[in-house]
Chains A and B, each alone.
Chain A
Amino acid sequence: MPPPIFNRLSRWKLILLLLVATLILLVLVVITIGPVQISLSNVYTILVKEIPLIGDFVEGEIPAIETEIVLNIRLPRVLGAAIVGVALTAAGVVLQGLLRNPMADPYVLGISAGASLGASLAIGFGFGATVLGFLYAVPLMAFICALGTIFLVYNVAKLSGGNSMLSLLLIGIAVSSFLSAIVSFIKLISVDALHGIIYWIMGSLQFAGWNHVYIASPLILGGIVVIFFFARDLNVLSLGETQAQHLGVDAEKLKTRLLICVSLVTAAAVSISGIIGFIGLIIPHLTRILVGPDHRILIPTSALLGAIVLIVCDTLARVLMSPAEIPVGIITSLLGSPFFVYLLLNRKNRRSTWQN
C-alpha cells in the first residue's frame, strides 16, 4: 500500500495538469468566437504563423484584418481574462485564509472602492491623455488609488491596535463607504462621464489589449508565485494566530507580506477590467469543495479555475448580445451563484471544507 501522501500528491498533480490543459484548450477555442466570422482554419493558421521557425513553413494568405483581430483583439482579451481570473481568485483565497472569514473577497479591504475612485477621477475629469505614451489614465489611476487605499487602510488599522485582522476588516469597510460616497458625488457632478463610470465599475474586459496584458502580467504572476510560496504558512495560520505563532510561523510578517501581494495582484487585475465580482468570493469556495482546504493545492487550482470561469463568462458576455456587450460581472453572478448553491447542496461529507 503506497503511503497516503503519495496518492494525494499524484492526485493533485493530475488535477493541475487537467486544469492547465483545459485552460489552454479553452483559449484556443474561444479565440475563434466573435462577432466577425473568421474560419477555424484561418484562426489556427494565424496562430501557427506566430510560432518562430515553424511558422515560416506554413502556407496560406490570411487577410491582414483577420490576423489583426485574432492576434491583437481576441488573444490579448482572452489572456487578460485569464490573468484577471487568476488574480482575483488567488487574492480571494488568501484573504479568506488571512481573515479566517468565508465572506472575504479581494475587495473587502477597500481596493474596489479605491480603484473606482481612481477610475471615476480619470473618467470624470477627462484624463484622456496617455502617460509616457503607453499607459492610459484610467487603468493607471485605478491602480494607484487602489494601492493607496489599502495602504491607508492597513496603516490606520495598525494605529488602532487590537485584533489587527478585525480592525483591518472594519476600517476597510469604513474607508470603502467613504470612497464610494466620493464616487457617487463625482457621478453627480460630471454627468457626461456618469455612464462611463458606471460601466467601468460594472467590469468589462473590452479594453484589454496587449499593453494591459504586458504591464499587468508580471505583477499578477509574480504575486501569485510569492503567494504560493506561503501556502503552507497559510495552512498553519488557519489554526489560529497564537497556534500559528507556536508552530513557528511569524503571523505578523506573513500577514503583511501576503497583504502586499494581494493588493498588487488585485489592483493590477482591477485596472484591466474594472470591478468584476463573484470570482474572488465564490471560486475559492468552489475549489475547496472539489480539492479541500490545503492551500498548497487550493491556490493553484482555484487560480486556474478562476481563469477558466472568467474566460467562459467573458466569451458569453461578448457573444450573447453581439455586437453589443453585456458587462462580464453580470454574467459571472448570474451563472455562478445558482451553480454554487447547487454544489453546496449536493456535496457529500467528504471532508470539512471550512475550519472554524
Chain B
Amino acid sequence: MNKKIIIVVISIIAIISVGIAGVLYLNQPPQSEELETPITIQDGAGYTVTISEYPERIVSIAPSCTEILFAIGLEDKIVGAPIYDHYSAEIQDALDSGEITSVGDFQTISIETVVSLDPDLILSKGGFQLSTANRFIELEKTVVVLTHSGFTGYLDDISLIGQVTGQDDEAAEFVAEIEGEAQMIEDKTKDLVKPKVYVEYGAMNSYGAESVVNELITKAGGTNVFADFDGQYLTTSTEEILNENPDIIIISSGVMSSYYGCTPDEIKSRESWDLLSAVINDEIYEVDENLITVAGPDIVDGIKELAQIFHPEAFNTS
C-alpha cells in the first residue's frame, strides 16, 4: 500500500513539475539567437554591417521596408514604422492601434522616438533618408540601408532583409514566388508582338529607362516608348508622342494624376491627340500607381495587370 501511494504521489509531483516547466519555457521573453559566426553584409549605401544576433526589435523608417517585413512574416518583431502605409490595411491597422509605434512620417523621422524604442535593427531607404540613417549610425545603432533599385534590386533587398533577420528561408520563398510568376508571364509573352506603350502620370510626364515602370513594361511583354531615355522621369511633348504613336496609353493613376487631372477623357481631349492610334482604338487604361511605379510586395500583380492589358488574348481568365 505504502509503495503504491508513494509512486502515485511522485508521479503527480513529476507531472506538475513538467507542466510548470513547460509553461515557464513557453512564456520566456524572446531571447535573441546568438549567432555562432556574425554575419557581415554590405548594404545599399555601401556600409559594412555586422549582425551578431538576429534582431528582436526592428524599426523601419520607410514604408517599403515595413511592407517587406510583413511579407516575410516578421510583423511581430516590428516595434516602430512610419505612420502612413497605404499599401495594406493590415499595416495601417497595426499603426493606428498603436501595436506598432509611429516614428514620424516618411519625410521626417523622429530620431528620439526611434531611439526610445530600443531597436536592435533599423531599416532605412537610401536617397534622402541617408542623413537620417547616418544619424542613427552616429548613435551606434545597427542600420541597414536599402536602395530597391529596379525589380532585381528589390528582390535582392528582400533577400538581404531575410539574411539579417534570420528569415532567409521565408525571404527566399517569397523571392522565388515573385520570380517564378514574373518568369511565367515573360515566357508567355516572349513570342508575341510587343505593343508600344506610353505611360503618363499627368502633364505629359512619363518614365524613362531607369524607372520601375520601364522594367515592368518589358516583363509584361511590352515596349516603353521612352525605353532608351537615360533617367527615371521625363516630360515629353505632343510632337514626340505623335512621332512615337504608341499602341497603348496607360495613366498611372493616383495622387499625381488626380492632381494633374489626367484621365482617359482628358487625354482624348488634347489637341491633336485624336490622331494617335491609341486614342482612335480607345486603348487608354488606368493602372494604380502603387502597382507599377514603386516596387512593393505586389510587384507581380503590377506585371500581371500590364500583361493583361498588352496581351488580352494570352491572359484572358475566361
Q: How near does chain B come to A206, taking the closest CB pair, in angstroms?
A: 7
A74 touches B139 (CB 8 A): no
Task: Classify chain B: how many residues form its interface, as a range.
Answer: 20 to 34
B134 touches A36 (CB 8 A): no
B128 touches A123 (CB 8 A): yes
Q: Which residue in chain B gives the minimum CB-CB distance to A70?
A: B112
With A68-B139, A207-B134, A324-B107 known as contacts, the answer to whether A36 contacts B127 (CB < 8 A) is no
B115 touches A69 (CB 8 A): yes
With A128-B47, A191-B232 known as contacts, the answer to whether A73 contacts B130 (CB < 8 A) is no
A73 touches B107 (CB 8 A): no
Task: Count chain A residues whose beta carbon lies closer than 8 angstroms to a beta carbon of B.
Answer: 36
Q: B45 at the A/B interface (Cβ < 8 Å)?
A: yes
Q: A199 at the A/B interface (Cβ < 8 Å)?
A: yes
Distance, CA A197 to CA B129, complexed state (A)? 11
Q: Is the interface of B mostly helix, strand, loop or mixed?
A: mixed
Q: A130 at the A/B interface (Cβ < 8 Å)?
A: yes
Q: Which residue in chain A gives the minimum CB-CB distance to B208?
A: A191
Q: Which residue in chain A gives the minimum CB-CB distance to B127?
A: A192
Q: B183 at the A/B interface (Cβ < 8 Å)?
A: no
Q: Which of B102, B103, B116 is most buried by chain A, counting CB atoms within 10 A of its CB?
A: B116
Q: How near does chain B come to A207, taking the closest CB pair, in angstroms?
A: 5
B127 touches A193 (CB 8 A): yes
Q: Mark B75-119, 1 if CB is under 8 A from A, else 0.
A: 000000001000000000000000000111101111111011010
Q: A222 at the A/B interface (Cβ < 8 Å)?
A: no
A324 touches B112 (CB 8 A): no
With A69-B116, A324-B104 known as contacts, the answer to whether A207 contacts B132 (CB < 8 A) is yes
Distance, CA A36 to CA B138, complexed state (A)? 20
- Please give, as numbers and ranges, the residues of chain A lying within 8 Å of B102 by CB-CB distance: 323
B128 touches A68 (CB 8 A): no
- Please give, as numbers and ranges, the residues of chain B lying within 8 Å of A204 by CB-CB distance: 108
Distance, CA A330 to CA B116, complexed state (A)? 27
Q: How near does chain A come to B36, taking the closest CB pair, in angstroms?
A: 28
Q: A72 at the A/B interface (Cβ < 8 Å)?
A: yes
- Please give, as numbers and ranges, the residues of chain B lying within 8 Å of A192 by CB-CB distance: 126-128, 232
Q: Which residue in chain B gives the minimum CB-CB distance to A64?
A: B118
Distance, CA A325 to CA B106, complexed state (A)? 11
B232 touches A322 (CB 8 A): no
Q: Mark A315-331, 1 if CB is under 8 A from B, else 0.
A: 00000001111000000
Distance, CA A197 to CA B128, complexed state (A)? 8
Q: How near does chain A come to B37, taking the closest CB pair, in angstroms?
A: 25
Distance, CA A74 to CA B132, complexed state (A)? 15
One of B47, B112, B131 near A69 (C-beta < 8 A): B112
Q: How near does chain B come to A184, taking the closest CB pair, in angstroms?
A: 14
> Among residues 104 to 120 in chain A, which have CB atoms less than 8 Å away from a CB atom of chain B?
none
B131 touches A138 (CB 8 A): yes
With A35-B110, A196-B128 known as contacts, the answer to whether A68 contacts B135 (CB < 8 A) is no
Q: A256 at the A/B interface (Cβ < 8 Å)?
A: no
B45 touches A206 (CB 8 A): no
Q: A257 at the A/B interface (Cβ < 8 Å)?
A: no
A128 touches B107 (CB 8 A): no
One of A123, A191, A195, A323 near B110 (C-beta < 8 A): A323
Distance, CA A73 to CA B140, complexed state (A)? 12
With A35-B110, A211-B138 known as contacts, the answer to whether A324 contacts B105 (CB < 8 A) is yes
Distance, CA A322 to CA B109, complexed state (A)? 10
> Among residues 130 to 168 in chain B, which have CB atoms less than 8 Å away from a CB atom of chain A?
130-132, 134-135, 138-139, 145
Give B residues with C-beta under 8 Å from A. 45-47, 83, 102-105, 107-113, 115-116, 118, 126-132, 134-135, 138-139, 145, 231-233
13 further contact pairs, Cβ within 8 A, besides A65-B115, A68-B115, A192-B128: A35-B112, A35-B113, A73-B111, A74-B112, A123-B131, A128-B47, A128-B126, A130-B134, A195-B107, A206-B135, A209-B138, A323-B104, A325-B110
